[in-house]
Amino acid sequence: MPSPPPDPALRLRIDRAALAANWRALDALSGAARAGAAVKADAYGIGARLAAIVLREAGCRDFFVAHWREAAELRDLLAPQDIAVLHGPLTGDEARWARAAGVRPVINSLAQAQRWLEAGGGPCHLMIDSGINRLGLPMADLGAEAIARLDIDMLLSHLASADEDSALNPLQRARWSQARALVPHRRASLANSAGIALGAEYHGDVTRPGLALYGGVPRPEMAGHLRQVAWPQAAVIQLREIGPGESVGYNATFVAPRRMRLAVIALGYADGYLRCWSGRGAMRWQGARLPVIGRVSMDMSVLDAAAAPDLAEGDWIEADYELPAAAAASGLSQYELLTLLGRRFGRESG
- Give 206's strand partners: 34
In the residue annotation, 321 being an active-site residue is answered as: no
Question: According to DSSP H, which parts of 59-190 are helical?
Answer: 68-72, 92-101, 110-118, 145-148, 168-182
In the residue annotation, 250 being an active-site residue is answered as: yes
CA angle 213, 198, 19 (to 5 degrees): 10
Residue 153 DSSP SS3: strand
CA angle 127, 338, 24 (to 5 degrees): 65
Q: Is the Cβ–Cβ distance between 158 and 192 less than 8 Å?
A: yes
List 44, 214, 250, 321, catalytic entry: 250
Measured distance CA(321)–CA(339) in Å, rounded: 13
Which residues neighbour 348 within 8 Å (Cβ) at sequence distance 6 or greater?
A: 11, 12, 13, 14, 233
Measured distance CA(232)–CA(320) in Å, rounded: 8
Which residues neighbour 208 within 8 Å (Cβ) at sequence distance 6 or greater?
A: 36, 37, 38, 62, 64, 156, 189, 191, 192
Residue 269 DSSP SS3: helix
Q: Is the Cβ–Cβ distance between 23 and 35 less than 8 Å?
A: yes
List 40, 214, 273, 321, catalytic entry: 40
Instruction: Show which residues are catalytic.
Output: 40, 250
